Structure 1
């Protein structure tokens, strides 16, 4: 037995030593950025086997869709000692390179990048955005290896912005402690404007590409306010430094969180409008909140990552939905909206979920799990079959927050749950299960949430907005209640002067009487159609139960379809904060809002 154990220890030691001797380095350069290519050179030394498999991730953490990044790889080649060596593609995202008895190999390949998004590489003559999972490969089985990255900017470019740690004395050279860190560190190369500020004891750098009418001095102050409010919830900021990479386009949006950085899409000329500026701060708040929620406090299925396959979890309603909810709380606490605007925004969120037919079909947990096959692959029927884990999760977060505040008379809130779960994960060094999250909510609130989970997490129960807002002395009115608004139940778009049906709502008049997506609507009761159907006077003048005749063209053939109008099922909710609410409700309101 002792000999067997000793032998096992020796084998493990040899294996660990062999891995520790392997070193990986990258050189990133640009020969034809105008054609949207980045040149990659990967050096692997210290090899003990006669071959190594190198892999390209198939997805980017935070964006739950297999994107097959290997499809953009070209001109793969390998050398050892300056001479070509044999290689073969062994999987869709893996190449096997034979070392020819050399302990070091050099791999070269090119990556095409021309998709404008926060999660995919984009290269042109003005800059390069390098989304790391889309350009870096890794040696199979060696994700824990450190690596270095040397960036050689294209001529005329003079700046590199990234969350990676710089190597002292080596310009544009960085190090990653392992491949999880490398894959979580996007890189911006070009002539971006860079400014920085301090917030919560952390230096924050902002790299602005694309210009814009932003006021950087104002942004320094206001972004810091958001950051400090987020840090206050968790009691600590986990970073030494943080990088915002902001892409300003004519029309831009979206963001993707990373370990100590984020990539934001913005509209370059919207910073000087109240709506545009608040929208940007909301985006900052959302992505920054992810520093804790997802990047460190994460569902157990999301770590360690499997970069070859989907990583399924039922908890994206917490990871993303709660983050959407908290962006509202952060801008409120930072002073960018008042309580009325805060409440109005959340009431709109409740209305949107309540008016989504698919919310009666798919639960928050199911939406999370099916993100890989549904969330990023919407079609014309998606609104009828599902609900976004962002929007449903936002509403679940709202209801849960109010329930906790009510149960504790305003002394506790969802803030306390989030902080406790973050600290628990830090101690356990792993992600949480759904049962553990529920247990923490019950511990903080002092009450059972079994019925809540059955209704709102695993079920499709209608949102009881009167009950929950009532806890905080806020009355909600449905302005459509009691009215008989005639309703067909379609969405339409104008294409080359034609009105085309783009969606049909479940159980609507259009659904029952057979209107189809892609039908071209020519007339309603003989009146020509030039805009959205639901707003046509010929329909607005009718009442539910009336019949109208739509002339449509389907696959080039005209036909008349009789539609029996129904009453609109959609709610239009408005809120009023009661100034004379009982003290018990005021306490709940104050504890919930945190102001």
Structure 2
């Protein structure tokens, strides 16, 4: 999400780009040509047989022996990242690498794999060429993919690096398959060299995905910045309307901080049969959405929500960031307690931006806020794991859910979105409507990204939030963020004249608490809610429910138990690992809530004023 520098730029251009760096890494400020003054790394990326799902990489290290200590050590170590920033899971990209070889002046030199992601090349030469292949058959925003239709590169999963050379210039030469005409990336193109791109360092290379094929592209300008949209997949859309709506979303997002840090921005959009999501980058993003994303108003607003989320990351996380999130360690987990801020509050802003851009009415936005609260309050794990713990454990829990995860965890996305709403309201109330969450974002951007050129600690974030709010925020940070204790929501909503009310219908119907997968005439338990009848009385995940009170269930368990009363005991026959068991299960009251935001009676003028400023109704 920043403009990249060309490899051969002189001091003035390099100085310009250091103002937009996302990390505090030093750069070469010599007046000499950077290529002449420092080692260079050039990657040649090809895909001669895309139907086999292989990328082929040639990695050239020039004038590198001194920088890599090769002459002293007698070897060079080359590494593959194990994860990619923005997706907090060790993905082991090296598992897809094969046929690694090394040559000097065309002659083979010894190499061996010494760790899961590290290859050691025995050489003392200045110029080294490495070749390897990468199997790429997983089309997500976090992985790479190539087939007969197109190629997509997540750079961390394709391009190896040397620790000592990460801050040096990198170049990528793309050799598209013979029938492909277009390469889309936010990397800086090299003048006069087709499909050749430069990055001032490895961090910028990793942060710049590449789409290769015959994708359609269109452009628009927002906040005086040119934007490019590359569309892969057969899909119908109104280009003029889509460009206009992108512009509305992007300019509203930019109004939060009030400054756009990019010289250009790139959207890569994959239209796929199923799945979806996005991954942010310094001056670009990749989005995955359904092919029918533009077919209905509901689908379209859902897509614009994704656009708003990933675009707002241009500020929040890529520049406004916890200190742990850059410079990056590509070999290990990068821990922070504040993914609830970086991801969750971006989720808060995705809807707040659409409200301010006019895509959501005030009433629709209130419904979204209430539904966000319903989501976390109806998950038992919300009383087990705090938002801070969820952030820290992203590496082992967030991306690896199992059948018990809903009982023990809460998503830093969903909990963070609620926390963003509450923090926004706390700042509004504390400042008597003079400030809101935008002011906190601006402060963090100016103080830490621009002035101190670093991320912030947990305590620095808290002090900044309290400074902007004009009061202590003990309840917010101590309770809402750092514990799994219940939140008193109405202390946040009453200043804007609202109250949160549970409108779930009271019913005498009993609650089982088991989710089942009906298929092939069977009902198989897929999850069991903590504290429910099923949980207490021993119904297990994987059980096939055969009958209830001697009546055959088939694939319609929930219909069969509908209308049973609280306290009623059912005789449930299950097949557990080939053995029939009868379980007495006593139904409990339904614990699920359904919250709605309702106006307080006799609202004061102060409450009405804060409400209007909160929802931008005046």
TM-score, structure 1 length as denominator? Answer: 0.94
- Conserved? CA contact 1:254–1:265, under 8 Å: yes
Q: Which residue of 1 aligns with 2:53?
A: 36
Counterpart position of 1:367: 390
For residue 454 of structure 1, the aligned residue among 478, 483, 493 is: 478
CA gap of 1:20–1:526, structure 2 versus 1, over 3 A, is farther
1:593 aligns with 2:593: no
Offset at residue 403 of structure 1 (A): 1.3
Listed one character per residue, the Cα deviations across residues 60-95 of structure 1 (whole Å, up to 9, x for unaligned) are 100000000011001101110111111111221111
Q: Determine which of 468, 472, 475 is the counterpart of 2:492.
A: 468
Q: Is the CA contact (8 Å cut-off) linking 2:509 and 2:563 kept in structure 1?
A: no
Q: CA deviation at 1:529?
A: 2.6
Return the offset for 1:591: 2.2
Q: How far apart are the structure 1 equivalents of 2:484 and 2:125?
A: 60
Give, in angstroms, the shift of residue 504 of structure 1: 0.6
Higher relative contact order structure (alpha carbons within 8 Å, sequence separation ≥ 6): 2
Match of 1:357 among 377, 380, 388: 380
The residue that corresponds to 2:531 in the other structure is 507
Partner of 1:106: helix, strand, or coil?
strand
Q: 1:573 aligns with which of 555, 578, 595?
A: 595
**Which segment drifts farther, 287-296 or 547-556?**
547-556
Q: Tell whether the 8 Å contact from 2:521 to 2:555 is kept in structure 1 after alignment.
A: no
SS at match of 2:499: strand
Matched, 1:239 2:262: yes
| 1:523 aligned to which of 547, 552, 557 | 547
Cα deviation digits, residues 105-149 of structure 1 (max 9, x gap): 110000001112110001101000000000001112221011110
SS at match of 1:138: coil
Give the aligned partner of residue 21 of structure 1: 38
- Provide the residue aligned with 1:95 in structure 2: 119
1:412 touches 1:591 (CA, 8 Å); kept in 2?
no
Q: What residue number does 1:3 align with? A: none
Contact 1:493 1:532 in 2 (8 A): no
Q: Give the gaps of 5 or more residues in structure 1.
A: 1-12
What is residue 251 of structure 2 aligned with on the other side?
A: 228
Deviation (angstroms), 1:578: 5.7
Q: How far apart in 2 are the matches of 1:531 and 1:270?
A: 32
> Does the CA contact (< 8 Å) of 1:298 and 1:431 recur in 2?
yes
Q: How far did 1:296 drift?
A: 0.5
Q: 2:345 aligns with which of 279, 299, 322?
A: 322
What pairs up with 1:112-151 in 2 under 5 angstroms? Answer: 112-151=135-174
Show the counterpart of 1:249.
272
- 1:5 equivalent in structure 2: none
For 2:599 and 2:249, locate their aligned partners in 1 and report how far apart those are by CA, in whole Å: 25
> Aligned equivalents of 1:582 and 1:19: distance in 2?
69
Measure, in 1, the Cα distance between the counterparts of 2:409 and 2:472: 28
Q: SS in structure 2 opposite 1:175?
A: strand
Shift of 1:579: 9.0
> Among 478, 499, 503, which residue is 1:479 paired with?
503
CA displacement 1:479-514 (0-9 Å, x = unmatched):
226544411111111233321111011111111100
Using a 3 Å threshold, how does the CA distance of structure 1 residues 573 and 177 change in structure 2: closer, same or farther?
same
What secondary structure sits across from 1:141 in the alignment?
helix
Unaligned runs of 5+ in 2: 1-29
String of CA shifts for 1:187-210, please: whole Å, max 9, x gaps.
000000111100011111000001
Paired with 2:158 and 2:481, the residues of 1 have a C-alpha distance of: 37
| Aligned match for 2:107, one of 79, 83, 94 | 83
Native 8 Å contact 1:421 1:440 kept in 2: yes
User: Within 1, Cα distance between the matches of 2:440 and 2:325?
Assistant: 20
Does the CA contact (< 8 Å) of 2:270 and 2:288 recur in 1? Answer: yes
1-side partners of 2:180 and 2:322: how far apart? 40
The aligned residue for residue 466 of structure 2 is 442
1:55 maps to 2:79 = yes
Check conservation: 1:81, 1:102, Cα contact below 8 A.
Answer: no
- The alignment of Structure 1 onto Structure 2 pairs a total of residues equal to 577
Q: Mean alpha-carbon deviation: is it higher for 157-166 or for 544-553?
A: 544-553
- Whether the aligned pair in 1 keeps the contact of 2:489 and 2:500 (CA below 8 Å) is yes
Counterpart-to-counterpart distance in 2, 1:177 and 1:123: 26
| Aligned counterparts of 2:107 and 2:250: Cα–Cα separation in 1 | 52
Q: Is the 8 A contact 2:522 2:555 kept in 1?
A: no
Q: Which residue of 2 aligns with 1:551?
A: 573
- 1:544 is paired with a residue of what secondary structure? coil
- Range 45-54 or range 440-449, more displaced: 45-54
- Indicate how the Cα distance of structure 1 residues 132 and 317 shifts in structure 2: closer, same or farther if over 3 A, else same: same
Residue 402 of structure 1 contacts residue 588 of structure 1 at CA under 8 Å; is this kept in 2?
A: no
- Deviation, 1:467, is 3.0
Q: In the TM superposition, what is the alpha-carbon distance from 1:20 to its structure 2 partner? A: 4.4
Number of the residue aligned with 2:332: 309
Rounded Cα–Cα distance in structure 2 between residues aligned with 1:347 and 1:254: 23
Aligned-partner Cα distance in 2 for 1:514–1:373: 27
Query: In the TM superposition, what is the alpha-carbon distance from 1:541 to its structure 2 partner?
Result: 1.8
d(CA) in 1 for partners of 2:477 and 2:532? 30
What is the aligned partner in structure 2 of residue 172 from structure 1? Answer: 195
How far the C-alpha of 1:355 sits from its partner, in A, is 0.8
Trace 1:262-273 onto structure 2 (pairs within 5 A): 262-273=285-296
* CA distance in 2 between partners of 1:277 and 1:135 (Å): 33
Tell which deviates more after alignment, 267-276 or 459-468: 459-468
1:340–1:577 Cα contact (<8 Å) kept: no
Q: Normalization by structure 2: what TM-score?
A: 0.91
Give the Cα–Cα distance (whole angstroms) in 1 for the partners of residues 333 and 221 of structure 2.
Answer: 37
C-alpha spacing 1:504/1:20, structure 2 compared with 1 (3 Å): farther
What displacement does 1:531 show?
4.7
Q: In 1, are the aligned partners of 2:47 and 2:55 still within 8 Å (CA)?
A: yes
> Matches of 2:606 and 2:114 in 1, distance apart?
66
